[in-house]
Structure 1
Amino acid sequence: MSEYKKVLVAIDLSDESNEVAGRAKAVASSSDCDLHIIHVIEPLSFAYGVDIPMDFSGLQDEIQTQATDQLRRFAEQNGVDQSHQHIVLGRPEVEIHAMAEEIAADLIVVGSHGRYGLALLMGSTANGVLHGASCDVLAVRVGKHD
């Protein structure tokens, strides 16, 4: 097996992000490779639809500012250089794929809640990343374990 050169870890800034980042750091350090971190902010219009006659721009800007600050702190705690911190707006699986291509990542690390049944059929970010990635994907099981 060839060693990885660039690892992209996708986090949602929840408490579980530490588990995912920890696994990514372990892989990166064992392969002596670059570690990049990405957080994707979904536009409010995705969640609430574009038909609502409201201007979400102020709220969206505040979400972006807070997420940027949280990502910076998280990255500092995990030893990720500022040039390797990425925060983008869009659909998570699409943006994670795009960033992986942009930085030429050969491994993407994401968290997975191990959904089943209807939740699995509805899809998840980890599932979306796995099925569209052009490189290896490591899904780290987070949350409650049965």
Structure 2
Amino acid sequence: MSYHHILVAVDLTKDSHKVLERAMAIAERNDHAKISIMHTLEPLGFAYGGDIPMDLTSIQDQLDDHAKKRLGEIAAPHVVEDNQHVVVGMPDTEIHRFSADNGVDLIVVGSHGRHGFALLLGSTSTGVLHGAQCDVLAVRVGKESDE
């Protein structure tokens, strides 16, 4: 199977570079497949459930600006700005939506390799895997991956 459009979903941590590097190697082996990179911000309203009686728009905008800057740092110079996306929503839902809308045939995400309850309680990579309409590669990241 060859891939034409690879989506790299990152959490903006230092491990994001490792996930992108894995995707770049796959893209190179697939006639330099297109790479898009994205980060999903959960809306502040989800986190606070409307408990704060104030307009959170300016704070959400600041978070969005910070995420775009950080994503640009991770993506440069490998992914052009037009293919860098910061979206607001639930990560697995937004990753699935972007993939379907943009003809993605491989999603690459980082995974901390959790076991037992941590896995059952959910991680983004697990959510992405269960609803994806294309292949998903979970790249092991974190302390365990460095050993």
Give the TM-score normalised by structure 1.
Answer: 0.93
Amino acid at match of 1:121: L
**Aligned twin of 1:99:** 98
- Per mean C-alpha deviation after superposition, the further-off stretch among 7-16 and 42-51 is 42-51
Q: Which runs of 5+ in 2 are unaligned?
A: none
- Per mean C-alpha deviation after superposition, the further-off stretch among 132-141 and 37-46 is 37-46
**Aligned twin of 1:124:** 123
Q: Which runs of 5+ in 1 are unaligned?
A: none
**Aligned twin of 1:83:** 82
Task: Count how many residue pairs are aligned between Structure 1 and Structure 2.
Answer: 144
**In the alignment, does 2:44 pair up with 1:44?**
yes
Percent identity among equivalent residues? Answer: 51
**Aligned twin of 1:141:** 140
The residue matched to 2:28 in structure 1 has which SS?
A: helix
Matches of 2:83 and 2:64, distance apart in 1:
18
Matches of 1:119 and 1:58, distance apart in 2:
33
- Per mean C-alpha deviation after superposition, the further-off stretch among 60-69 and 49-58 is 49-58
Amino acid at match of 1:49: G
The residue matched to 2:76 in structure 1 has which SS?
A: helix
Cα distance, 1:28 vs. partner? 0.6
RMSD over equivalenced CA pairs, Å: 1.2
1:90-141, CA deviations, whole angstroms, 9 ceiling, x for partnerless residues? 0000000111111101000000011112211110100000000000000000
Cα distance, 1:52 vs. partner? 3.0
The residue matched to 1:137 in structure 2 has which SS?
A: strand
Matches of 1:134 and 1:17, distance apart in 2:
23
Matches of 2:47 and 2:29, distance apart in 1:
39
Contact in 1 for aligned 2:16/2:74 (Cα 8 Å): no
1:62-94, CA deviations, whole angstroms, 9 ceiling, x for partnerless residues? 1011111111222223x1112211111000000
**Aligned twin of 2:34:** 34
Give the TM-score normalised by structure 2.
Answer: 0.92
Matches within 5 A, 1:108-123: 108-123=107-122
- Per mean C-alpha deviation after superposition, the further-off stretch among 52-61 and 128-137 is 52-61
